[in-house]
Each structure stands twice: as C-alpha cells, then as structure tokens.
Amino acid sequence: MQQKSRSDLLRTPGMLGLLMAAGASQAAEVHGLLKLGRDVGGDTLTSSTLTFPNGSSSSIKANEGSYIGGGVGLVEVAKDVDVELTLAWKWAFITASNGDVTFTRFPLEALVFYKFEKVRLGGGLAYHIDPKLKGSGDFSGLDIGYDNALGGVLQADYRITDKMNVGIRYTSVDYKVGNSPAAKGNGAGITFSASF
C-alpha cells in the first residue's frame, strides 16, 4: 500500500469519528445497526471475465455485489436527523468448474438522514477498504489489489417501522491501482437496515 493510501486510511475514519462525536454532543440516542443489500452497475473490472468450458463467459462489475455489515446509529441528532456509521463486507463472485473469480471490499460509510413520517432521505461518505480481485483454478494468477477508495452515497428509505428501513441507493466511487484509473464503481442498489 502506498504512503498516500495509508494516510487516507487514517484520516478518513478520523473525519467520520468527528462527525459521530459532533452528533453525540447533541445527546442523541445511540443504538446498534445491522444492514444488508445488493448493488449492481459500474464498469466491468479488467481481468474479471471468466470463460466457461462451453465457451460462454461472465464478468464482474465494479459496483456489483451483496453486502452485510453493522455499526452504530445516532437517532435524533437534531430534530428529525439520524446519523449512521457502518462497516460492511461486500462481495461478488463467478464460479465455474475450471475456476472462480471474486471481488471483495469493506465499505465504511458515514450517512446522514432527514426523516419524514414514512420516508427518510440522506447520503454521505463511503470509504472502500482493501478492494481485491482474486482468482482460483485456471484463474489462480489473478490477484489485483486496488487502492482504498473514497466515494459517496445517496439513499432513500421507506420507514417500515421506527427501527426498520428498506430503500434504494446510489454509490459513486472510483477504483485505482496506483495513479492509474481502473474502474468506476457507480451504480444503484437496494438496502435493508434494522436497529436494536
């Protein structure tokens, strides 16, 4: 990992921590949070195309993947405002008899939401930690480590209850290897979250 990436890795969680601390100073209620979802879209990752024995092929897109994670939420930071800080594991894979290709990363997100009666709208920062594209079998030579990537998220949720939400989201993030652009991870997704 380059020196600049290490610096970013230390600086971004610090900024997110300050955001959470500012909210905590408003005497907000703190609760645990679980989330999961599925994203699609983005550029096709170079070298992610897997050719099956029958001649057909499949590839992985940069925003593609399922995720599961958790964190903390601050409810009523200000009137009708929630703040969430979460860390998730996000993965996408292709499996065939002659090998597998997987793309994994750990999105750290700090999101702020404004709540209405049945809807909440928000967005914030996303920091994707340790993005990796790896292969096995016939693709065992595939091992690409992308730089950590800072991006953004916009999200709209339907409030099922005060503690459960289901929504749609848009992520914008660019993956790079060194100073070379690799793929745009812009795309949409669906998400579910529950607090406890």
Position 15 scores a pLDDT of 54
Please state the rounded mean pLDDT for residues 155-162: 96
Residue 1 has pLDDT above 50, yes or no: no
Q: Specify the pLDDT at position 3.
A: 45
Residue 75, pLDDT score: 84
Kindly state the average pLDDT of the residues 79-94. 95
Q: How confident is the model at residue 37 (pLDDT cuts 50, 70, 90)?
A: very high
End-to-end Cα spacing for the chain: 36
Whether the per-residue pLDDT at 10 is higher than 60: the answer is no
pLDDT-wise least confident of 20-24, 74-78, 108-112, 146-150: 20-24
* DSSP labels, 143-185: EEEPPPEEEEEEEEEEESSSSEEEEEEEEE-EEEETTEEEEE-
CB–CB of 185/173 below 8 Å? yes
11 — phi, psi (to 5°)?
-70, -45
Mean pLDDT, the chain, rounded, equals 87
135-139, 177-181, 190-194: least confidently modelled range? 177-181
The mean pLDDT value for 150-154 works out to 98
Tell how strand 149-159 and strand 143-145 pair up: unpaired
Distance of CA 192 to the CA centre of its chain: 13
pLDDT of 96 > 90? The answer is no
What is the DSSP code string of 91-152? EEEEEETTEEEEEEEEEEEEEEEEE-SSEEEEEEEEEEEEEEEEEEETTTT-EEEPPPEEEE
Confidence of residue 43 (pLDDT cuts 50, 70, 90): very high
pTM of the model: 0.84
Can you tell me the mean pLDDT for 82-109? 94
pLDDT given for residue 182 in this prediction: 84
